[in-house]
Structure 1
């Protein structure tokens, strides 16, 4: 999995390209930690090109949310596939990691 970082209007977007599994989860954790360490407080994880997320990927997202909130910010997810939305719903994580249709929608309200 590749992670591309961009910053627009104070919002850091981490675009995950590929399956977010136990192999890729550490890379997402590192990218979130690096962004927060660099001063980012508003993060969006763009999952529009991540067709699959397993439990390790969910753990990385939850850890990222926790780290962002501890730093005084927030983490949102955008562009999740039907599979990812289903997993979020089944685990009730959609209540904590509210999914947004796209990056633009996730940025709104900040």
Structure 2
């Protein structure tokens, strides 16, 4: 069953995205625990140092699980270790692109109520930093954004 795990880190609009591809199981969980934590540490330290002198970007780590083909309880434990590492940095944590198997495991443990789940990495990044600024977007007259009109907005 073990086909290995690839772990890649990239920044999407300043948000660290830890991209996983392959099986997340007993044979690969330690790799995520060790290598993934190192990447999270480096990414969060870098985004904070890049923001020196300006307002700090939201510290959020997105775990892109769209390439995960299998997950067992050991793999889920490794995901929890990444969550804990993000929390140790006082950062948020979300999972993007989780398949049915990972979502089921998260639901079984109640983690789906603790971790934000998003359909895609792009959706997770927008949730973290807000929609990209559109210079052509106009704010309605009076300076308020359009809402429902009942104060719920």
TM-score, scaled to structure 1: 0.89
Query: What SS does structure 1 have at the residue aligned with 2:74?
Result: helix
Query: What SS does structure 2 have at the residue aligned with 1:18?
Result: strand
Hey, what does 2:20 align to over in structure 1? 16
Which has the larger Rg? 2
Per chain length, whose mean CA-contact separation is higher, i.e. which structure has more relative contact order (CA < 8 Å, sep 6+)? 1
- Shift, 1:3, TM fit: 1.0
Are the equivalent residues in 2 in contact too, given 1:33–1:67 (CA < 8 A)?
Answer: yes
Hey, what does 1:101 align to over in structure 2? 119
TM-score, scaled to structure 2: 0.66
Q: Give the aligned CA root-mean-square deviation in angstroms.
A: 1.5
Task: List alignment gaps of at least 5 residues for structure 2.
Answer: 45-58, 129-153
Hey, what does 2:56 align to over in structure 1? none
Range with greater deviation from structure 2 (32-41 or 5-14): 32-41
Are the equivalent residues in 1 in contact too, given 2:26–2:75 (CA < 8 A)?
Answer: yes
Hey, what does 1:46 align to over in structure 2? 64
Range with greater deviation from structure 2 (72-81 or 22-31): 22-31
Are residues 39 and 12 of structure 1, via their aligned partners in 2, closer, same or farther at CA, if it must alter by over 3 Å? closer
Are the equivalent residues in 1 in contact too, given 2:16–2:43 (CA < 8 A)?
Answer: no
How far apart are the structure 2 equivalents of 1:94 and 1:75? 12
- Shift, 1:37, TM fit: 2.6
Aligned counterpart in structure 2 of residue 80 of structure 1, from 66, 85, 98: 98
- Shift, 1:39, TM fit: 4.5
Query: What SS does structure 1 have at the residue aligned with 2:127?
Result: coil
Are the equivalent residues in 2 in contact too, given 1:62–1:97 (CA < 8 A)?
Answer: no
How far apart are the structure 2 equivalents of 1:39 and 1:20? 22
Could you list the runs of 4 or more consecutive aligned residues of structure 1 that deviate by over 4 angstroms after TM superposition? none
